[in-house]
Amino acid sequence: MATRRQSEEDGGLELADRPQVKRPRRFNVVFHNDDYTTMEFVVHVLTRFFHKSETEATQIMLQIHYKGYGIVGVFTRDVAETKVAQVMGYAREHGHPLRCTAEPEGFGEGEEDS
């Protein structure tokens, strides 16, 4: 959309372009399955850092367990990276090797599970 402003040279109107505002790119926070982090700890982290209900956290944990990964939330880049850092730090403090990443939304879509 353009706005009109007065041109000083000819007394006419000229159009000035408005900058297009894009929505910030969104990032998925993804938990990855491992053989050591307990299911109970994953549910605890989901309720603590992502404010999931116990039922919702359990469903996500089972998806992570059976599929190998699970998207736990979609955020702007800064928020996603902060969540990853918080979760990874908390997991290390408690002796769990839980892996959590922030990936651009749409990254890896269309890949077949094997």
Decide if pLDDT at 94 tops 60: yes
**Helix 39-50 with 54-67: angle, nearest 10 deg:** 130
Q: Is 71 within a domain?
A: yes
What order of strands is seen across the sheet that includes strand 26-32? 69-76, 26-32, 99-104
Q: Is 11 within a domain?
A: no
- Tally of domains in the chain: 1
> Which residue segment(s) compose the domain that 63 sits in?
25-104
Q: Is 93 within a domain?
A: yes
Q: How confident is the model at residue 15 (pLDDT cuts 50, 70, 90)?
A: confident
pTM: 0.75
What are 42-92's pLDDT values in tens digits? 999 999 999 999 999 999 999 999 999 999 999 999 999 999 999 999 999
Check residue 10 and give its pLDDT: 57
Instruction: Bin 103: left if φ > 0, else alpha if -120 < ψ < 50, else beta.
Output: beta
Q: Residue 38's domain is classified under what CATH number? A: 3.30.1390.10
Q: Is 87 within a domain?
A: yes
**What is the residue type of 71?**
I
